[in-house]
Amino acid sequence: MFNLPETHFHFGGDEYIYGEISRDMRIESNFKALAVTNELRRRELSGIIDIVSANSSYLVRYNPDMISARDLLDCLKEIDLTKSDPRKLHVSVRIIEIPAWYDDPVSRECSYRFRNRHPEPELSNFDFVMKVNNFTDKEAFIEYHSGTPYFITMVGFLPGTAWHFPLGQEPSEVLKAPKYHSPRTETPERGIGLGGAFNVIYPVSGPGSYQLIGRAAVPVFDPKRQLADLKETSFLARPGDIWKYRAVNESQYHQITSEVEAGAYRFKIKKMIFSPLEYIEKGKRYIQELMEGF
């Protein structure tokens, strides 16, 4: 029976324990990081200050005056062991649609403005990503990118930034792109970036080094909580969510942004249970079954 990767634990000073599941990015490692950290939150142990899951690891901050490092480590090892069998894991997820205007003029202008920091300054970011992934047809690239569901593996950096990794693809099928030689000092809000195998949507204007391939029509960070789907929290992303892009044209993009500004936009969201075991066993076929009707 397939088990999830073994975790290696490290102490970080007197207040942190770091659980390293794998050093390379493996979606199976992320399943385990989510399962362990969710269970640890559920237990509400006295002395735990913060719990953060990452792409293939997790970090726990604790108060050593309230819980000893060894007691916490024993607890983590016990939880970690129970979350190593994919047969026992079921992740509650939300599939969320992200309308996206690919190769939009704002992203293109930004890529040319910082061309002196780029590996190929004569190309826009969008054209560069097409080139390094052997695409010659723009529509084919857009269909490929928007046809892939992405799993939210980690949230951090700027408020609401969500790293999302493609599901149901072999390593040779994954879109990849090198980052800028030196980060941009500015990135447009809601810019869609690709760096390595990870996608992000920049929640606010700020620095960044991922290649810009388009712009989301919807916010992923709403500090005023004006939208009905963001009333409980300002952030759209939750680790374990699945985002699915939908390509829109210019007029559709502006129609959606108008709805957002009026506070009337509703996200297309579907809640379901994700089975890591079925994903490991069936791969792309399981993802296709999961996305049916969405």
Q: Are 173 and 283 in contact (CB under 8 A)?
A: no
CA distance 32 to 212: 30
- CA 117 to chain CA centroid, Å, is 25
What pLDDT does residue 257 have?
Answer: 97
In a domain, 252, yes or no: yes
How many residues would you count in the chain?
294
Same domain (yes/no): 77, 112: no
Which amino acid belongs to residue 134? N
The DSSP code sequence of 189-215 is TTEEEEEBTEEEE-SSS--B-SEEEEE
Task: State how far the Cα of 166 lies from the Cα of 175, in Å rounded to an integer.
Answer: 9
CATH number at 80 reads: 3.30.1360.40
Q: How far apart are CA 259 and CA 261, in angstroms?
A: 5
- One domain, residues 118 and 71: no
Structure-block tokens of residue 226:
């004006």
Domain final residue pick, 88, 119, 136: 88
Kindly give the pairing relationship between strand 91-102 and strand 242-247.
parallel
Q: Could you report how far apart the first and last alpha carbons of the chain are, in Å?
A: 32
Domain ranges, residue 74: 8-88
- Orientation of helix 69-82 relative to helix 27-43, angle to 10°: 120
Q: Can you read off the two tokens belonging to residue 252?
A: 């559709």
Return the bridge partners of 244, or none.
97, 149
Return the pLDDT at 1.
47
Q: Please list the pLDDT of the chain residue by residue as tens digits (294 residues).
A: 466 778 999 999 999 999 999 888 878 889 899 999 999 999 999 999 999 999 999 999 999 999 999 999 999 999 998 888 777 788 889 999 999 999 999 999 999 999 999 999 999 999 999 999 999 999 999 999 999 999 999 998 777 899 999 999 988 999 999 999 999 999 999 999 999 999 999 999 999 999 999 999 999 999 999 999 999 889 999 989 999 999 999 999 999 999 999 999 999 999 999 988 898 889 999 999 999 888
253: closest CA among 164, 187, 192, 185? 192
Helix (H) or strand (E) holding 61: strand 57-62
| 53 and 178 housed in the same domain | no
What burial class does residue 252 get, using C-beta atoms within 10 Å of its C-beta: 0-12 exposed, 13-18 middle, 19+ buried?
A: middle
- Say how many domains are in the chain: 2
Q: Residue 248: what pLDDT?
A: 98
* CATH number of 192's domain: 2.40.100.10
- Picking from 88, 117, 145, the residue at the C-terminal end of a domain is 88
Q: Can you list the pairs that 185-188 forms with residues at least 24 positions away whose Cβ atoms lie under 8 Å? A: 185/114, 186/110, 186/114, 187/110, 187/212, 188/106, 188/107, 188/110, 188/212, 188/215
pTM of the model as a whole: 0.90
Residue 127, amino acid? D
DSSP H helices, the chain, are: 27-43, 69-82, 105-113, 125-132, 138-146, 250-261, 276-282, 284-291
Domain final position from 53, 88, 123:
88
